[in-house]
Amino acid sequence: MNIKNLFNTLLDFSYFSFKSSRSFKPLIVVIEPTYLCNLRCKSCNLWRNFEKANSKGTILTTSEYRNLFKELEKMGIFTLVISGGEPFLRRDILKIIASAKKYNLKLYITTNGTVLTRKAIKSLVRLQVDDIAFSLDSAFPGIHDFIRGRKGAFLKTVEAIDAIIKEKERNKTSRPRISINTVVSKYNIKSLSEICYKLEKIKIFRFYYPTNISEDSLNEINRFFSQQIYSGQFYNLDVLPKKEELTSFLNDLKRIRKSILFKPPMFSKSLFHQCIFFWIATVISPYGDVYPCTLLDKFKIGNIRNESLEDIWNNNKYRRLRSSFIKNRFKVCEECSCGINIRDVINRSMFFLT
């Protein structure tokens, strides 16, 4: 990342500080190439949502993604997140990744790692993907497989991690960096810290506490906008651990000398901790629909098949949404753990400087 991009980052912060409904440009674009997933995670409801995962809409083509990446480069956007679903279930995912790197995008990919082929691993290293975050919920195979709903999932994920490390060593490169994403639940809370100890070569760990949205909060925001803007279907709250178990785990993390990010509900009165997702990031579905964040999955801002992302970014609907969140403290934001605050952006910026 160069000085120009850092300057633009500061501009985005200033826009939010002045409580503007406009934003300079997104710093981060999240694409979801597919909603399909081969695992059946206990904490996730996406795979249960049959209608969404099997929409009758036509997914974006390789060519359409290429046009999007070309626009992102022109706009000066430097960070692309590829999420899902499981992105590697798309047959053309390597072409999509190659296209993103062609347009100088810093690439962060989340995956469960169970369907990564030898060809894919070699390509990811050759293309110099910046970061791959593997989902791993325990250092113990039995616990991980139980949570992920597939026997043998742990072994496949760990094998994929080892294969990428070896491929990097063969090519004498530090890219892609490997990190671990873990969802905290009642099933793994007592043994979570073991992940950090057993995966010695992994330096970055992210622990996520499932977003806990109450029915009252859900009704409040849907009532305010006179439509359903959040379905409440992403997380299964039956997996939440007990408060005392969570406190014990957080104390364990303090003793681990690795880079650890824990994302609990993070909304506060301090600007440094407020979510600024609407001002710096956006989400694009497999069908080209643009959403303001990963939580508000029913509030479509536009579609990149009908207009450019640049036009969508500050259109009337986006600006009205930002204005509403400036003027109102919605409970749904207080309970969300998916947001991005200034600390997250600074950490991500420093990550891409190295």
Judged by average pLDDT, the poorest of 49-58, 64-73, 74-83, 201-210 is: 49-58
Say if strands 106-111 and 28-31 run parallel, antiparallel, or are unpaired. Answer: unpaired
Mean pLDDT of all residues in 298-311: 94
Mean pLDDT of all residues in 304-332: 88
pLDDT score, position 269: 45
Residue 131 has pLDDT above 80, yes or no: yes
Rounded Cα–Cα distance for residues 248 and 71 (Å): 47
Q: How would residue 242 be classed by pLDDT, with cut points 50, 70 and 90?
A: confident
- Give residue 57's Cα distance to chain centre: 23
- pTM, rounded to two decimals: 0.84
Q: How would residue 210 be classed by pLDDT, with cut points 50, 70 and 90?
A: low
Residue 57 has pLDDT above 80, yes or no: no
Name the residue with higher pLDDT: 2 or 179. 179
Residue 100 has pLDDT above 80, yes or no: yes
Residue 228: count of CB within 10 angstroms of its CB: 15
pLDDT score, position 344: 57
Residue 309: count of CB within 10 angstroms of its CB: 21
Q: Do the beta carbons of residue 204 and residue 259 sit within 8 Å?
A: yes
Residue 352 has pLDDT above 50, yes or no: no
Q: What percent of the chain has pLDDT over 90?
A: 44
Mean pLDDT of all residues in 330-347: 63
Name the residue with higher pLDDT: 218 or 267. 218
Residue 348 has pLDDT above 80, yes or no: no
Which domains are delineated in the chain? 3-353 (3.20.20.70)
CA distances in angstroms from 171 to 42, 130, 167, 202, listed in the order given: 37, 15, 6, 18
Q: Do the beta carbons of residue 127 and residue 171 sit within 8 Å?
A: no
Residue 319 backbone phi and psi in degrees, to 5: -70, -40
Q: Do the beta carbons of residue 125 and residue 168 sit within 8 Å?
A: yes
pLDDT score, position 314: 94
Q: How would residue 327 be classed by pLDDT, with cut points 50, 70 and 90?
A: confident
Name the residue with higher pLDDT: 120 or 320. 120
Round the average pLDDT of the chain to a whole number and report it.
80
Query: Which among 28, 30, 12 is positioned nearest to 351, based on CA atoms?
Result: 28
